Structure 1
Amino acid sequence: MTRRAGSADLPLHGGRVPRWLAERMTRLGTVIAEAIVLEYGRDEFLRRLAHPFWFQSFGAVMGMDWHSSGITTSVLGALKRGLAPRAGELGLHVCGGRGRHSRQTPHELIGLGEQLGVDGAALARTSRLIAKVDSAAVQDGFDLYLHGFILADDGHWVVVQQGMSDARGQARRYHWLSEGLQSFVEAPHAAIDGLDQGIIVNLTDRRAAASRQGQLDLLGSLGPDGIERRLAEIDPPAAPCPAPLQPMLPHLVMPDHHDVRAEDIVARRLHGNLAAAADAAPDDFADLLLVPGVGARTIRALALVAEVVHGAPCRFSDPARFSIAHGGKDRHPFPVPIKVYDRTIDTLKRAVAQAKLGHAEELAAIRRLDDQARRLERHATGPSVEALLAEERGRSHAYGGRSVYGDEPAPAAIADPAS
C-alpha cells in the first residue's frame, strides 16, 4: 500500500529570519531531531517531516511565524545547517533549498550516493520527478520555488517542496515519503486539497490513468502537429460523469490572520501542557531544575517541546499552540523570550547528551512531561488564551523578549501615548 504524506496551504509572508533566531532555530531543531532519532529512529523522524501538521508545529515551537509560508524555508534551512555536522552520527542529510539551492539538489544527491554507496543517480531522478509531478502533472496554480530532499544513509527519504501563487497571496507545501511509495505518477502523495479555487489539472489521480496512456498513444501516432490539428477539429467534450472521490488525507490550511486567537488553539490541550508543567514532580525534574536558570517558564516550554518529540499525529491539529513555547519573530503571539529559548536548548541538549552516555533519566523525565499533559488535559483548567498571551507580553522584557523590531523595552520605559 502506498504510504501517504500530505500538503498545506499557507499565507505568503515576506521578510527574512533574523540571525539571532536562525542560529537558535538551528540549535533547537537539531537537538529535537536528535531526540526523535534516539527515541524512535531515523524512519520515524522522516515520517514526522512528511506530516504537514507536525512540520508546522515543529516550526512554531522554534519561534517562527506560526502560520506562514516562511516556516518551510526556515525549518529546512535550520535542519540543513544543524544536521550537516552530525551526518556521520545521525545518518541524515538535507539537500536542496530555495531558488538556486533547489536546482542543486540532484548534484548533491549524486555526491551523497557516491559517499554512502547508494544509487545517487536514481535519487537525482527521483528528485526531478517529484518536482515535475507537483509543477506539471498537478497544475493547481502554484509555481514551485523550494525543494528540500532529506536522505537517510539507508536510502529512505522525505521530500518537502513548496509553490507560491502571488495572485492568491498563498503558498502550498507538498510532502512526499519514500516509505511504501509505488508510483510517481499515480496518486503518489496525500491528495492536493485546500480552499475551493476552481478546477485544477491532476494527472496523478488514479482516475487519470487512461488519460495518461491516451496522451502517450496520441503522441506516438499523431505527433505534436497532428495533435494540434485534431484538437482544432474537436468540439468541447461533454462533462464527465462524477467519479468517487479519493479518501482525504492530511491537508493543513492555515488562516490569513497573523495574531494567535483562541479559536486557533485547542484549549484543553494547552491547559494539559500548562498543568503538566506546573505539576511536574520534583523527583522527576530534580536534575533538570538544578540547571541554573531553569524554572517554571522553561518547564512550560519543555512541555510543548516534549509533545513535538513524543506526540501522536492527532495532537498537531492546532500548530498555533506550539508558538506558546517560544513566541514568534514578529511578536505574534508574543516576542521570542530569548532567556527561555536558550534554557530550553541547553536543557534538551544536556538530556540528549546524557542519554547517549547511557543515562536516560533526564530524557525520560521530558517524555513523562508529555504523558502527564495528555492525562491532565481531560480535566485541567487554566487561564484563557487571551489572558495567557497578555501575561507573556507583560513579562517579555524580563524574559529577554526580542522580535524583528528589536528588544522589548521594560514596561516602565514604554512611552505613554498621551505624553
Structure 2
Amino acid sequence: MRKLAGLVLKLLVDEYGTKGVLERLADPVWFQALNNLIGMDWDSSGSTTVTTGILKDVLLKEDFGVSAAGGKGAKSRETPYELREISKKYELDAESYIKTSKLVAKVDTVALQTGYQLYHHTFFVDREGRWTVVQQGMNPNIKMARRYHWFSENVESFTVEPHKGISGIKEEYALNTVSRDAKEYQKTLLDIVSEDVRKIERELETLKAMTKGYKPLIYYKPYDKREVTLFRRYESLGKAELNKRALTLARELSVSNYDELLLIQGLGPSTLRALSLVLELVYDVHPSWKDPVTHPPDPFKFTYAVGGKDGVPFPVERATYDELISFMETLVEKNKNEKVLVRQVTKISRGWKFPKEEKKAT
C-alpha cells in the first residue's frame, strides 16, 4: 500500500503539482477511489484512517512538497505540534494553521451536528501554504462513519457552507448552522450570547419545563405543536446544557463573528444545542435542518484494481499488486510523451461498469 500510494503521489505531483494533490484529496470520490485502488474494500472499516496514515507516512519519507499532520484518536491531538514543524520547514505562519485546524474540527463537531463524533483529523499542507483537511466522525448508534473534506481554495468562509464535500449516508435532518440559510441565525446567536447568561439559562429552563406540561403565563407565538417535534430532534442529538463559563467568556471577549464564538474553549455541541433551542422557540429564528452530505460512499469500480482486504469483490491478488507496482515504477521514470499512452488506456476503462451482482457489503 505504501509503495503504490507513493507512486500515485509522485505521478500526481509531476502531472498536476502539489495543488492538484490537495484538490484531489479534498474530493470525496477521488479519495474513496484511492483507498480502493490500494487494497481497501469499497466499504471497509479503516478506509479513511488507514489511507491517510499511509499517505502521511509516505509524505514524511519523501519530499513531494506536501506534508501531513494529525491522524486517528491520540494522533489527532498531536496536530498543533506537527503543524509547527511543517510550518518551520515551509516557512509558514504556524499559528494560523493551528487556528484553522481547531476551527475546522469545531465546525464539524459543534456547528454541524448529525450524531457523528469526530475521531480522526488529518491536515495536509503544501509548501505554498494551501491546505486540505480530511476528518471523520462515527455515529455509535448506527455504526456508520462520515467523512468531511475541506480545501483552502474553496473556503470563502469557515461558517458558510465551507466543505469541499461530505461523504456519508444522508440523514433525515441535521442541526446545520453553517448553511447559507442560517445567516440570520448566526447574527441572532451572537446577539444572544452578548446578553447575561442567567437570562439565557432562565429561558432554557422554561422550555424544558414545557416538555413536562408547564405552560408559560406569557404566550409566545412560536409555542405551538411543532415544539414537540423540535424537542425530539434536539434530544436525538444529545443533551442541551449550557456551559455558563464558556458563554461568560464569550461575552467578556465581545466575540464579533461566529468563527470566534466556535473557538471559545468549552463551547461544545451541548451548549450550541441549548442556544439553538432558545433561538427557535423564543426568538423564532432557525438554523437549517438540511443534511449537507454531498457524496454517498460508493466508487465500487476501483476495488477491481487489486481486490479488497476483506475479499470484496475478491481477495487482494498479490501477484497483480506486484505487477502493478512494477509497471508504475517504470512509468514514473518515463518521459511525458510516453505517459500519453497511459492516458489512452484510461479512456478504455472509463466507461466500464462493475457487475452489480458482485457487490456485497463487508
Under a length normalisation based on structure 1, what TM-score does the superposition of the two structures give?
A: 0.63
Give unpaired runs (5+ residues) of structure 1: 1-24, 255-318, 390-419
After superposition, give the CA deviation of every residue in 1:325-364 in whole Å (9 maximum; x if it has no partner).
Answer: 1001111111111111011112112211x24xxx335433
Counterpart of 1:326? 306
- In 2, distance between residues paired with 1:172 and 1:186? 20
- In 2, distance between residues paired with 1:163 and 1:320? 21
Equivalent of 1:103 in 77, 94, 106:
77
Relative to structure 1, the CA distance from residue 139 to residue 248 in structure 2 (aligned partners, 3 Å threshold; closer, same or farther) is closer
Matched, 1:225 2:220: no
Counterpart of 1:153? 127
Counterpart of 1:139? 113
Relative to structure 1, the CA distance from residue 58 to residue 39 in structure 2 (aligned partners, 3 Å threshold; closer, same or farther) is same
User: Helix, strand or coil for the counterpart of 2:134?
Assistant: strand
Counterpart of 1:82? 58
- In 2, distance between residues paired with 1:150 and 1:246? 29
Equivalent of 1:252 in 296, 299, 318:
296
- In 2, distance between residues paired with 1:220 and 1:146? 33
- In 1, distance between residues paired with 2:153 and 2:201? 40
Shift of 1:192: 5.8
Relative to structure 1, the CA distance from residue 143 to residue 48 in structure 2 (aligned partners, 3 Å threshold; closer, same or farther) is same
Matched, 1:214 2:194: no
Relative to structure 1, the CA distance from residue 384 to residue 198 in structure 2 (aligned partners, 3 Å threshold; closer, same or farther) is closer
User: Helix, strand or coil for the counterpart of 1:104?
Assistant: helix
- In 2, distance between residues paired with 1:194 and 1:241? 28
- In 1, distance between residues paired with 2:300 and 2:354? 16
Counterpart of 1:44? 20
Deviates more, 1:231-240 or 1:110-119: 231-240
Shift of 1:371: 2.7
Residue identity matched to 1:331: G
Residue identity matched to 1:225: R
Shift of 1:67: 1.5
RMSD: 2.9
Relative to structure 1, the CA distance from residue 195 to residue 95 in structure 2 (aligned partners, 3 Å threshold; closer, same or farther) is closer
Give unpaired runs (5+ residues) of structure 2: 208-219, 227-283
Shift of 1:241: 10
- In 1, distance between residues paired with 2:27 and 2:354? 30
Residue identity matched to 2:75: H
8 Å CA contact 2:154, 2:164 repeated in 1: no
8 Å CA contact 1:190, 1:249 repeated in 2: no
Relative to structure 1, the CA distance from residue 161 to residue 248 in structure 2 (aligned partners, 3 Å threshold; closer, same or farther) is closer
User: Helix, strand or coil for the counterpart of 1:160?
Assistant: strand
Counterpart of 1:114? 88
- In 2, distance between residues paired with 1:336 and 1:84? 26
User: Helix, strand or coil for the counterpart of 2:162?
Assistant: coil
Matched, 1:174 2:148: yes
Equivalent of 1:60 in 28, 31, 36:
36
Relative to structure 1, the CA distance from residue 242 to residue 148 in structure 2 (aligned partners, 3 Å threshold; closer, same or farther) is closer
Equivalent of 1:368 in 325, 344, 348:
344
Summarize the alignment of residues 394-409 of structure 1 with structure 2, pairs less than 5 Å apart.
none
Relative to structure 1, the CA distance from residue 183 to residue 154 in structure 2 (aligned partners, 3 Å threshold; closer, same or farther) is same
8 Å CA contact 1:159, 1:177 repeated in 2: yes
- In 2, distance between residues paired with 1:243 and 1:138? 10
User: Helix, strand or coil for the counterpart of 1:109?
Assistant: helix
Shift of 1:57: 1.0
Shift of 1:247: 12
- In 2, distance between residues paired with 1:221 and 1:385? 58
Relative to structure 1, the CA distance from residue 132 to residue 177 in structure 2 (aligned partners, 3 Å threshold; closer, same or farther) is same
Residue identity matched to 1:162: Q
- In 2, distance between residues paired with 1:333 and 1:325? 10
User: Helix, strand or coil for the counterpart of 1:68?
Assistant: coil
8 Å CA contact 2:181, 2:288 repeated in 1: no
Shift of 1:193: 8.1
8 Å CA contact 1:56, 1:67 repeated in 2: no
Relative to structure 1, the CA distance from residue 241 to residue 121 in structure 2 (aligned partners, 3 Å threshold; closer, same or farther) is closer
8 Å CA contact 1:64, 1:329 repeated in 2: yes
Under a length normalisation based on structure 2, what TM-score does the superposition of the two structures give?
A: 0.72
